Structure 1
Amino acid sequence: MTQSSDFFIHFWGVRGSIAVPGKETVRYGGNTSCIEMRVGGKRLIFDGGTGLRVLGKSMLKQMPVEAHMFFSHSHWDHIQGFPFFVPAFIPGNCFHIYGAIAPNGATMQKRLSDQMHDPNFPVPMQIMKSDLKFTDLMVGDVIDLDGIRIETGPLNHPNSAIGYRVTYNGKTVVYATDTEHYPDRIDEDLVYLARDADILIYDACYTDEEYHDPKAPKIGWGHSTWQEALKVVDAARVKKAVMFHHDPNHDDDMLDQIEADVRSVFPNSLLAREGMILPVD
């Protein structure tokens, strides 16, 4: 594990739905979705769950900072860290913020702003003194950042979500959280997004048993399982799989068992842990 690579991933929040701090989540972490990719000297941030607050604290030693922030969607566990992202309040910093327009027409700028309006929050987004530059995306858009190619693709999630494929110097990482597999076929859009990827970060919130539990099924909730993740891995010829967006009810011991089960089928896989750094090399 090293930060000397010119392409690495830092996991700041790996949990789904709601933050779950406590003694039962110490090893994997309790913060919600936020990962950082350092790519060719640039800083890319994906989603702004409560893990974004921790990332922001680490940035305070590096002022001024510039980063590109990509949101998969605006459910609370992916944006609730943004009001507590301290670098956004500091003049001289610059954040390029990307997100797809919601089905109701709301931009990412509006959705981030709305969560900070009265009576939801005491401080409006306009108080943020950094330079916030918003870009609206359409699914299928491609962004080029000085040789870093970022492709977008649709995910199967209530109210819609977007996945990202980051390629630099022939290496590719795909971030596909908050997506549900289809019951009768593989998601070809996702397979295409993940094609030949070096690392696939995938929403494996549930096990198959939980997903199909006759007493409390999770069908239609917008999330997937590690078993379905490995079908995508196989179809897309992915080299390494990282299971992400852990269910808040999964404690460390259960996640240890899930990781063992996943690795027994596909050894080059692991579960995301808060604080984990993966080089892409």
Structure 2
Amino acid sequence: MSSIENQFTVRLWGVRGSIACPGAETVRYGGNTPCIEMRVGGQVLIFDGGTGLRVLGQSLLSEMPLEGHLFFTHTHWDHIQGFPFFVPAFVKGNCFHIYGAPSPNGMTIEQRLINQMLDPNFPVPLQIMGSDLRFNDIQIGQQIYLGDITIETALLNHPGQATGYRVNWRGCSAVYATDTEHLLDQLDENLLRLAQDADVMIYDATYTDEEYHSTTASKIGWGHSTWQEAIKMAEAARVKQLVIFHHDPLHNDDFLDRIAFQARERFPQAVMAREGMVLQLIEESALEVDSGVAPELKISV
């Protein structure tokens, strides 16, 4: 087996929520909206198509012709605005399998991506994309199988609904859970099951507890969680590595540095998501899971 086929690697291309916010105060953590790439057993898996997808697309041009799988949590703008600028999707010979749950009103993922690119919102329709786009409507709760990769799904607590994903391969697992709002009186059982004993959990922690419960500008009901609740979930699910994700555009680098310090004091395996961050689950260790040896996780930026 080649080294590429031996990998389970997670790379963060966009870590910001709500709206892209490039600028001098967001250089260290990044200003692009959500996009996660996973290389698993030789497969290319992409989660969400925020503005980070444009940057990922540029990096993939050297690998064409390319086949990949693109999973959407939901289609709020910050999660789809990079799709019209994803250059590999315009190139004939490439193939992308696109997955998403129908919206509560029954609109498919294909319809929603088409609508985003209709005049007068965008000058180029989706039909101009030259790659082979294969759309797959999924039901939240079903499992998706790509060879020996299993992808689990769960309902997240977000206005208009969102889907959480868990990727399992040879004893390793990575959970992508954004956008989601914690429950006020208990842990979300859907997410708790999805994240149980995961090696990595990428979790929506847009706010602090103070911001969330503010008496003047409460964020209750907005569909996002806090870093404090992220730690509660990570501890309850026995997650090995927590990645605090979907940063508020108002949170500059210095603010996120302070959250990172506080989070690590409470949960040493917590890290703040940064553009360019790579989390590598070493498959050789994963092969030894049956003997009780946990997968090794390496993080680099």
TM class by smaller structure: over 0.9
In structure 2, the partner of 1:270 is 271
Please tell me whether the aligned partners of residues 11 and 274 of structure 1 are also in contact (alpha carbons under 8 angstroms): yes
Q: 1:270 to 1:3 in 2, by over 3 A?
A: farther
- Contact 2:68/2:95 (8 A) holds in 1: yes
Moved more, 3-12 or 259-268: 3-12
Report 1:219-230 matches (<5 A): 219-230=220-231
Give unpaired runs (5+ residues) of structure 1.
Answer: none
Per the alignment, residue 31 of structure 2 pairs with 30
Equivalent runs, 1:63-102 vs 2, <5 Å = 63-102=64-103
CA contact (8 A) 1:5 1:280 kept: no
Q: Any idea what SS the aligned residue of 2:123 has?
A: coil
Report the Cα distance in structure 1 between the residues aligned to 2:5 and 2:88, rounded to whole angstroms: 24
Match of 1:171 in 2: 172
Who is 1:54 aligned against?
55
Cα distance per residue 1:240-261 (max 9 Å; x no partner): 1000000000000000000001
Report if the CA contact (8 A) 2:4-2:41 is conserved. Answer: no
Q: Distance in 1 between matches of 2:181 and 2:32?
A: 21
- What is aligned with 2:110? 109
Q: What amino acid maps onto 2:123 in structure 1? A: P
Identity of aligned residues (%): 65
Contact 1:3–1:279, Cα closer than 8 Å, also in 2? no
- C-alpha RMSD of matched pairs (Å): 1.2
State the alpha-carbon separation in 1 of the partners of residues 281 and 243 from structure 2.
13
Counterpart amino acid of residue 195 in structure 2: A
Instruction: Supply the AA of the counterpart residue of 2:281.
Output: V
What is the alpha-carbon distance in structure 2 between the residues aligned to residue 54 and residue 46 of structure 1?
14
Match of 2:298 in 1: none
Alignment partners' CA distance in 2, 1:5 and 1:146:
14
Q: Any conservation in 1 of the 2:5–2:42 contact (CA below 8 Å)?
A: no
Residues 216-260 of structure 1: CA distance to partner in whole angstroms, max 9, x if unpaired? 010000000011011111111111100000000000000000000
* Alignment partners' CA distance in 2, 1:280 and 1:154: 25
User: What amino acid is the match of 1:149?
Assistant: T
Structure having greater relative contact order (Cα 8 Å, sep ≥ 6): 1
Letter in 1 for 2:221: G
Does residue 202 of the first structure (1) align with residue 203 of the second (2)?
A: yes
Q: CA deviation at 1:3?
A: 8.2
Taking structure 2 as the reference length, the TM-score comes to 0.92
Distance 2:12 2:226 in 1: 20
1:138-157 mapped onto 2 (5 Å cutoff)? 138-157=139-158
**What SS does the corresponding residue of 2:25 show, helix, strand or coil?**
helix
**Residue of structure 1 in register with 2:296 after alignment:** none
Distance 1:82 1:233 in 2: 31
